[in-house]
Amino acid sequence: MTLKFYMVPGSCSTGIHILLEELELPFEVTVLNMPAGDHRRPGYLAINPKGTIPTLVLNGGEALTEFQAIAYWLARTYPRKRLLPDDTLLAAQAMALMDYVVGTVHGQGYTRIFTTDRYLPTGLSATEQATWQAAIQAQGRERVTEAFAVIEGLLPDAGYAVGGAFSIADAALFYVEFWADKTGLALPPRCAAHYQLVRARPVVQQVLREEGYR
Ligand SMILES: N[C@@H](CCC(=O)N[C@@H](CS)C(=O)NCC(=O)O)C(=O)O
């Protein structure tokens, strides 16, 4: 048995993809086509009833879901690369940053930009729908911008997010910074420098190439 990784290129699973490659683990990839609805098919829902990606199926067959849980499991199972700081306070700070990225920047901000229609009330006319869509997207961009301003205040002047070394928090922060880059959303200076620092890692370059980015 080997680890089975369910992912979508350029999505939040990119952060987990980076961690798997940083750890040099063998794993089997299944790429889901979300627009085609792969994540809603019975076969996938039997593995992950939430229909979300990423999912990591472990060697014993257990399916792990949720970015933070997968990242934590990887860091604790393969401690050699110190992807979670040994110090308890730094580890807790890494978890807090990761949670803020996934729950707030992604969960409250980017979902409004990428999956706008989920926030629409039913029964709107076509004109009303267009007005609502624009408002929801604007709200999404506002939430993302506010959240990056908070993260800006948490980051050190230079270097990785927590404790001076690359950790699971950097992989989480990277995927939302990558989305900012792709959607033309300006990052504040420390976040922008953090994005370049992580992006320059050979493993990250390799993952982006594998996911179809140049
Ligand atoms: N809280 C989840 C969020 C994952 C998530 O929402 N992923 C998006 C893609 S970036 C997704 O699966 N969207 C499909 C859906 O929610 O139906 C996690 O941490 O894994």
Q: Report pLDDT digits (tens) over 20-74.
A: 999 999 999 999 999 999 999 999 999 999 999 999 999 999 999 999 999 999 9
Helix (H, G, I), strand (E, B) or coil at 57: strand
pLDDT for residue 32: 98
Q: What is the mean pLDDT of the chain?
A: 97
Instruction: Kindly state the average pLDDT of the residues 175-182.
Output: 98
> Largest Cα–Cα distance of the chain, in whole Å?
57
C-beta 143 within 6 A of ligand 1: no
Q: What is the CATH number of domain 88-201?
A: 1.20.1050.10
* DSSP code, position 85: -
pLDDT for residue 1: 74
Instruction: Fill in the amino acid letter for 93.
Output: Q
Instruction: Kindly state the average pLDDT of the residues 165-194.
Output: 98
pLDDT for residue 48: 98
CB atoms within 10 A of CB 203: 17
Exposed/middle/buried for 7, CB within 10 Å: 0-12, 13-18, 19+?
Answer: buried
Above pLDDT 70, what percent of the chain? 100
Q: What is the CATH number of domain 3-81?
A: 3.40.30.10
Domains 3-81 and 88-201 share a fold: no
In ligand 1, the atom with minimum distance to the C-alpha of 111 is 6
C-beta 67 within 6 A of ligand 1: yes
pLDDT for residue 187: 98
| Rounded distance between C-alpha atoms, residue 38 and residue 79, angstroms | 33
pLDDT for residue 58: 98
Q: Report pLDDT digits (tens) over 85-94.
A: 999 999 999 9
pLDDT for residue 123: 94
Q: Report pLDDT digits (tens) over 106-163.
A: 999 999 999 999 999 999 999 999 999 999 999 999 999 999 999 999 999 999 999 9
Contacts of 165 (CB under 8 A, 6+ apart): 82, 85
Q: How far is the CA of 111 from the centre of ligand 1 (A)?
A: 9
Tell me the torsion sign for CA atoms 165, 169, 171, 174.
negative
pLDDT for residue 127: 95
In ligand 1, the atom with minimum distance to the C-alpha of 67 is 19
Q: How far is the CA of 200 from the centre of ligand 1 (A)?
A: 26
Task: Give the residue, by CA position, lying nearest to ligand 1 atom 11.
Answer: 52
Q: Where along the chain do its domains lie? A: 3-81, 88-201
Please report which helix (H) or strand (E) contains residue 22, including its range.
helix 13-22
Pocket test for ligand 1, best of 8, 39, 52 (most atoms within 8 A of CB): 52
By DSSP bridging, strand 3-7 and strand 55-57 are: antiparallel
pLDDT for residue 211: 97
Q: Is the model's pTM score more than 0.85?
A: yes
Pocket test for ligand 1, best of 5, 7, 8, 12 (most atoms within 8 A of CB): 12
